[in-house]
Amino acid sequence: MKKILLLAFMVMFIGIIAPCKVYAVDISVGATTWYTWWEIETHDGDKFNFDPGFMYGPTMSVEFNDDFNLTFLYLYGKFDLNYSPFPVTFKRRDLDIALNYRLNGFFKLFGGIKYMSYTYSIADWVDFDHSCIGPGLGLSASFPMSENLFILANISYMYLWGDQEDGTDKISFKGYGINSSVLIAYYIVPASTVISLGGRSQYYVTDYDNSDVIGKYKFYGITLTATYNFSI
């Protein structure tokens, strides 16, 4: 089900872009990184802290007109959990696709799809896969500080469905949480490039089916992005 929803949204992404080839559209493509701290709290109060690490990946924005633009962000990283006696390395994936609508000169409303996945393997003994997907809705803002300097901020709510596989055990869950970020962005005019730096956080709670077990996930850190802007 998760793969079907993700595929459907990506088809929609391509379907929206393709007809716009006959018109001039503004496109931004680039790369982003997020130096992240990751904390987990279980239902019984146990806490696990991962070693901080980098997530990185591509980002893209397609602006069709003054009111609508479509954004894409994918991040991937590895995180070490030194939990005795079996320290493991988690592979984490984070995907956001959103359609944005300009409310006025400062604010945009956006909605889209969120996908997250955390996996690890220990030889042939155990495989762990925690994956989920669902809709998100949020508000973003851009405040000019000078001609080429801006403050960017956004906050969004997500509601997700997923499955967690731990060895031969599998359980479904629902998840919900908040994403937020505050950035300072500078537009380098001769290079048609925007550099942004700031903080990003994500808080996410899982509620497992037919169980009183919950999990609380906190991600926070420093993010840096560079995008190149052009028109076609």
Q: E strands along the chain, which residues?
A: 26-42, 47-49, 53-63, 68-81, 88-102, 107-122, 126-144, 149-166, 169-188, 193-208, 214-231
What tokens were used for 69? 């633009």
Residue with the larger pLDDT of the pair 14 and 106: 106
Q: How far apart are the C-alpha atoms of 186 and 170, rounded to whole Å?
A: 46
Cis check: omega of the bond before 85, within 30 degrees of 0: yes
Q: d(Cα 221, Cα 33) in Å, to the nearest integer?
A: 10
Find the mean pLDDT for residues 165-186: 92
* The CATH homologous superfamily of the domain defined by 2-227: OPCA outer membrane adhesin/invasin (2.40.128.100)
**124 pLDDT band (50/70/90 cuts)?**
low
CA-to-CA separations, 78 to 11, 49, 189, 218, in angstroms, rounded: 29, 14, 35, 16
Q: How confident is the model at residue 46 (pLDDT cuts 50, 70, 90)?
A: confident
pTM attached to this predicted model: 0.86
Identity at 133, one-letter amino acid code: I
pLDDT > 50? residue 22: no
Question: CA 72, 75, 78 angle in degrees (round to 5)?
Answer: 170
pLDDT of residue 72: 96
Find, among 91, 74, 77, 84, the residue nearest to 32 by Cα.
74
Query: Domain-by-domain residue ranges, the chain?
Result: 2-227
Q: In this predicted model, what pLDDT tens digit does every residue of 50-79 receive, in sequence order? A: 999 999 999 999 998 889 999 999 999 999
Report whether 63 contacts 25 (CB < 8 A): yes
d(CA 161, CA 135): 9
The type of residue at 121 is: S
Tracing tokens 């731990």 back to the chain, one arrives at 166
